[in-house]
Amino acid sequence: AAMLFNSNSPEFRLSWTLIAGTALFSAAFFVFLIGYVWRAHRRPVVTGREDMEGATARVTEWADGEGAVWVHGERWQARGPRTLAAGDSARITALEGLTLIVTETAPGHDPQKG
């Protein structure tokens, strides 16, 4: 800005205070923005395959080692032990396409509490 308005006439000059204030505001804004992006980048993943593995699901339908489970507010097809029944809780161990692979959890485990 100082080079853009390098004039001897006082009407066409910018105050050094204005230039410094604008530069400091811009620098502070970018420091804040970089910090915000850095914190967002370090957060754990909360969607997708990474979040599903290890999550607890509630069995809604089950027969012969296959059925449906409810997890994260969604209904998913699942495969797992034949001993599961509707109402049981199950731990997701893997994903194969759009099918969850589940195992039994401890008796009395509430999937709503994690």
pLDDT attached to residue 6: 64
pLDDT digits (tens, 9 = 90+) for 87-113: 999 999 999 999 999 999 876 555 455
Cβ-based burial of 42 (10 A; exposed 0-12, middle 13-18, buried ≥19): exposed
**CATH architecture, range 49-113:** Beta Barrel (2.40)
Amino acid code (one letter) for 112: Q
Question: What's 35-71 look like in SS3?
Answer: HHHHHHHHCCCCCCHHHHCCCEEEEEEEECCEEEEEE
Structural domain boundaries of the chain? Answer: 10-42, 49-113
pTM exceeds cut of 0.85: no
pLDDT digits (tens, 9 = 90+) for 5-53: 666 776 767 788 988 999 999 999 999 999 999 999 998 777 777 788 8
57-86, pLDDT tens digit by residue? Answer: 999 999 999 999 999 899 999 999 999 999
